[in-house]
Amino acid sequence: MNGEPAPIVEVFASFQGEGVLVGTPQVFVRFAGCDLDCLYCDTEYAKAIPEHCKIYSARGDVRKIVNPLSLDELVKVINEIALPDPNVEWVALTGGEPLLYPEYVAQLASRLSEDKFLVYLETAGHLPEALEQVIEYVDSIAGDIKLPSTMKTPVAYEDIYDFWSVAAGTDAFVKFVITDAVERGEIAGLVMDELWEIIGPLTAVLQPCTPTAAAKAPSFELLWSLAHEADHWFDSVRVIPQCHRLLGAR
């Protein structure tokens, strides 16, 4: 099984800096391209397709491979980066938006499982048909719910609902990125009614944004209020900032 190659921005080893697996050593594969426009985006460089994929070893060596990468090339690189460190169990597929390449992601995840890796999918949570193609091959999912106030163009509610109809019942959690523009009641307004019935049993992570030119970090008071609000709808709620930033890591 070896489908069309896909454009990759970078492959690197780091500690997972977000969500419920925070602190876990992982190999990250950052796919190129994204069809959304989050005001807090901290990976704008991943939205275009670069000529080369950069490969960073944990020792600091950097090399390049011409894009797009075949499955064989990428699986070899991942194994090379993970091999010196027996603690690396997880491979994170991130972006950009990895679900723009569902066939490739499904095949990659399948190959990585054969190599005894666990596969962690980080996605913006708006491409349900693509998720359907990959879900049987991934072990855990970090799915965003994009709050309208954090977007230049809001994600359609139907896409969010359909995505979580597929993801609910798997090892998944919901991530809300919080900026100072988020309003009290915004989480409840999106989640209440039928969406709550499928995602209520999950954990919600509220992630205060790392400030950008277009988005400021929320105050403690706003975070506290939103965490209290989310607690009404979700099984458990955690507030976790981007910890890799604190380490100066990728």
Nearer to ligand SF4, 88 or 205 (CB): 205
Nearer to ligand SF4, 119 or 209 (CB): 209
Smallest Cα–Cα separation from 11: which of 82, 116, 99, 114?
Answer: 82
Residue with tokens 């603690």: 87
Stretch that binds ligand SF4, among 39-47, 52-60, 70-78, 111-119 (CB under 6 A): 39-47
Per-residue contact string for residues 15-34; x = within reach of ligand SF4 by CB under 6 A? -------------------x
Smallest separation, CB 43 to ligand SF4 (Å): 5
> Is residue 124 part of the contact set for ligand SF4 (CB under 6 A)?
yes
Smallest separation, CB 197 to ligand SF4 (Å): 25
Smallest separation, CB 40 to ligand SF4 (Å): 7
Stretch that binds ligand SF4, among 40-48, 79-87, 157-165, 223-231 (CB under 6 A): 40-48
> Is residue 205 part of the contact set for ligand SF4 (CB under 6 A)?
no
Nearer to ligand SF4, 46 or 112 (CB): 46
Q: Is the N-terminal amide bond of 208 cis, ω within 30° of 0?
A: no
> Is residue 36 part of the contact set for ligand SF4 (CB under 6 A)?
yes
CA distance linking residue 33 with residue 104, whole number of Å: 14
> Is residue 209 part of the contact set for ligand SF4 (CB under 6 A)?
no
Nearer to ligand SF4, 36 or 167 (CB): 36
Nearer to ligand SF4, 8 or 34 (CB): 34
Smallest separation, CB 147 to ligand SF4 (Å): 12
Label each residue of the chain as H, E or C: CCCCCECEEEEEEEECCCHHHCCCEEEEEEECCCCCCECCCCCHHHCCCCCEEEEECCCCCEEEEECCECHHHHHHHHHHHHCCCCCCCEEEEECCCHHHCHHHHHHHHHHHHHCCCEEEEEECCCCHHHHHHHHHHCCEEEEECCCHHHECCCCCHHHHHHHHHHHCCCCEEEEEEECCCCCCCHHHHHHCCHHHHHHCCCEEEEEECCCECCECCCCHHHHHHHHHHHHCCCCEEEECCCHHHHHCCC
Identify the residue among 27, 32, 38, 178 touching ligand SF4 (CB under 6 A).
38
Identify the residue among 41, 112, 172, 230 touching ligand SF4 (CB under 6 A).
41
Burial class (CB in 10 A: 0-12, 13-18, 19+), 197: exposed
Smallest separation, CB 217 to ligand SF4 (Å): 15
Chain residues binding ligand SF4 by CB under 6 A are 34, 36-38, 41, 43, 46, 95-97, 124
